[in-house]
Amino acid sequence: MRRNRSLKTLFVFVFTGAVVCGILGEILSQFKGMEWIALGGVNGYRELFSLNYNPLIDTNFLRFGLNLAIRVNLGSVVGIISGVLLYFVT
């Protein structure tokens, strides 16, 4: 009998896999001979998407802005795939 699966569980598996394996990929890309993990990006990552609203509010005592960037390396891609596989196996 199949268990009831939720979308939140899938998101947790994918997000956790991307973060953990992305950090591992960033660490490994610093070693000589392992630069290919960075997929040609800078500091172990390649930036796929960037949204920058800086500053939205700027007064003398308060500055508010919004930055959003999606950066991946080979480790985070492997983490996303393994998160999806773990979701369907469990």
Per-residue pLDDT 10s for the chain (90 aa) are: 456 778 999 999 999 999 999 889 888 888 888 888 877 677 667 788 888 887 778 788 888 888 888 888 888 999 999 999 999 998
The structural domain count of the chain equals 1
Q: Which of 17, 32, 15 is nearest to 75 (CA)?
A: 17
Q: Residue 77 is part of which domain span?
A: 7-46+72-89
Question: Up-side HSE of residue 81: CA atoms within 13 Å toward CB?
Answer: 7
Please tell me the predicted confidence (pLDDT) of residue 3.
67
pLDDT of residue 1: 42
pTM of the model: 0.74
Residue 54 lies in a domain: no
Whether residue 53 is contained in a domain is answered as no
* pLDDT of 44: 65
Assigned domain for 64 exists: no
The whole-angstrom separation of Cα 26 and Cα 18 is 12
For residue 35, is it within any domain? yes
Assigned domain for 57 exists: no
Does 63 fall in a domain?
no
* Chain Cα centroid distance, residue 2: 30
Instruction: Please list the helix, strand and coil fractions of the chain in percent, rounded to the nearest 5, in that order.
Output: 45, 30, 25
